[in-house]
Structure 1
């Protein structure tokens, strides 16, 4: 990533190296993109993305989409070096810059980017702001990196690499039934429970800037210029050619910067909350099968440890493994939250804690406890229909299956199954 450069800058590339320093700097910033939007609320969603209040269908019950709440764009210097150029040392020079800050792409719970929901979130951010942002996990370099630059004039320069850091918050749009003013019901996209934050950044730029150069406010170059010790010209003339010691501000900025957690660190791993403790469940009297609509297979709990909930046909020999009760039920804004207790093995449906941060982690049962991994949001079709979608409270992922086949595991999908296979029916037994 350290050698990526802004398209407009390097389209001019070699030709721009021969022009004066000031005009080169202007060319660099001319492609900087839209102005930073500090705390901008509710930016428009990307084209084709649903918005709160849009109509949805029963096939959408098992899906979700990101809803961007706020964004902030901050020009950020990732690498910097003060550099003095004397009359006899103009021309091409290779300058080794020091790390100023490290930016890591992250979305929500795990501190990195896994699954379609995270990628869709960042894509929606980029589209809403008109910026080309990173949509997969990456990080700016934490090592010293070099910048080769053609210095046309003597002077005191800040040589830099930088980007626009984009941060903000998002919510989840889920399909659920809404009662309208006339008393009728309709399926609409609504903001579901849970939210999170994201961090990403735009294409890296590099360049050099002097104290006397006129640069756009709130640009990457302006940030680099702010790191220069812009004292008197006479004071700068006392420096020998080459590297200039960092200013007190640069030193302080580096001390307070800490890289975000990288992939594989313990900070990314979900933690169960009280998994070892059995909970006394308050279960409703109704018993249900969780069926595939119009098909004969339904959720069946595992008989063996370390196995998962699978699609099975209900038979005389099912031993109640395909029978479920809703326990510790609450309802908020029309969305049911419940634990799913299995009559056959006495366990509660859960995502295993050690794989909960993985896309397509399988659903299984465990001893019932006070644990958000065992809690599920249930989104319902309009009254008269038993179709539902299920979302794990802790991970935010929707439940679904890869294919319709006997023995197929039920898994979590961060955005759900967009082909409608994450919609089930809650059928009373």
Structure 2
């Protein structure tokens, strides 16, 4: 049995496009490394899948899905309802290495479970597991403004994307192996529960590239622009 601990362990490193996260999720049944790609297996093992004990590799980045800019002039404060404009959508998908959609399969459920556990443990986010996109046309938000200023109303999510790997026992994975283990890759793309809020323009917007911005509200502030 491997010495890898049963507790989840995470290593975070800066990566263009988000945060790279390597999470170890192990159990008594999966603590040992998976079979080597191309090694032989038996007929009784056909169809068996052994998931990578390294866990999924993930990139997490903020996405503004809806936003609107409003100017509250002196003497016009109070409650108002504004309709946000759709900026971007995030589509949920789980595909294997050849691009076949498997989001309704057991594999997708395993990936969602791993991603949800990792995100919850590391970021305290909740991965949304229902609905295929973040599309929200004509989103109306009511706010009470008691101070004049240039504001932005926004709605956004954290986009979670990456891949996971498993080794499957299949027939003829290679010409020299009649029944053997084949490494397969599942690519996934999900999103977290939406965040809604308001930001106030109080100076120049950040000049940081979007890929270095990790908070939804900070990205919304940059999109609002200079005062």
TM exceeds 0.5? yes
Is residue 77 of structure 1 aligned with residue 64 of structure 2? yes
Corresponding position of 1:62: 47
Q: Which shows bigger deviation, 89-98 or 153-162?
A: 89-98
Q: Is the 8 A contact 1:171 1:191 kept in 2?
A: no
Is residue 42 of structure 1 aligned with residue 38 of structure 2? no
Give, in whole Å, the separation in 1 of the partners of 2:162 and 2:67.
26
Q: Is the 8 A contact 2:84 2:153 kept in 1?
A: yes
Superposed displacement of residue 144, structure 1: 2.4
Superposed displacement of residue 129, structure 1: 2.5
Larger-gyration structure (1/2): 1
Is residue 102 of structure 1 aligned with residue 89 of structure 2? yes
SS in 2 for 1:157: strand
Corresponding position of 1:145: 139
Give, in whole Å, the separation in 1 of the partners of 2:146 and 2:101.
43
Superposed displacement of residue 47, structure 1: 6.2
Corresponding position of 1:361: none
Superposed displacement of residue 211, structure 1: 2.1
Corresponding position of 1:219: 215
Q: Is the 8 A contact 1:78 1:101 kept in 2?
A: yes
Q: Residues 87 and 195 of structure 1: is their aligned pair in 2 closer, same or farther, counting only changes over 3 Å? A: same
Q: Is the 8 A contact 2:92 2:189 kept in 1?
A: yes
Q: Is the 8 A contact 2:167 2:184 kept in 1?
A: no
RMSD: 3.4
Give, in whole Å, the separation in 2 of the partners of 1:47 and 1:163.
31
Superposed displacement of residue 45, structure 1: 2.4
How many residue pairs get aligned? The number is 182
Give, in whole Å, the separation in 2 of the partners of 1:42 and 1:35.
9
Give, in whole Å, the separation in 1 of the partners of 2:130 and 2:181.
25
Corresponding position of 1:93: 80
Relative CO higher for 1 or 2, CA cutoff 8 Å, sep ≥ 6?
2
Q: Residues 47 and 128 of structure 1: is their aligned pair in 2 closer, same or farther, counting only changes over 3 Å? A: farther
**Which of 10, 34, 53 matches 2:33?**
53
Give, in whole Å, the separation in 1 of the partners of 2:131 and 2:28.
24
Q: Residues 140 and 41 of structure 1: is their aligned pair in 2 closer, same or farther, counting only changes over 3 Å? A: closer
Corresponding position of 2:38: none
**Which of 179, 183, 186 matches 1:193?**
183
Q: Is the 8 A contact 1:98 1:143 kept in 2?
A: yes
Corresponding position of 1:359: none
Q: What are the ranges of 5 or more consecutive residues in structure 1 without an aligned counterpart?
A: 1-33, 177-189, 232-429
Residue deviations 1:181-224, cap 9 Å, x none?
A: xxxxxxxxx984221311100001111101239x9x62110010
Q: What are the ranges of 5 or more consecutive residues in structure 2 without an aligned counterpart?
A: 1-11, 36-41, 171-179, 207-212
Corresponding position of 1:127: 117
Superposed displacement of residue 159, structure 1: 0.6
Q: Is the 8 A contact 2:13 2:21 kept in 1?
A: no
Give, in whole Å, the separation in 1 of the partners of 2:186 and 2:166.
9
Superposed displacement of residue 66, structure 1: 4.7
Q: Is the 8 A contact 2:14 2:20 kept in 1?
A: no
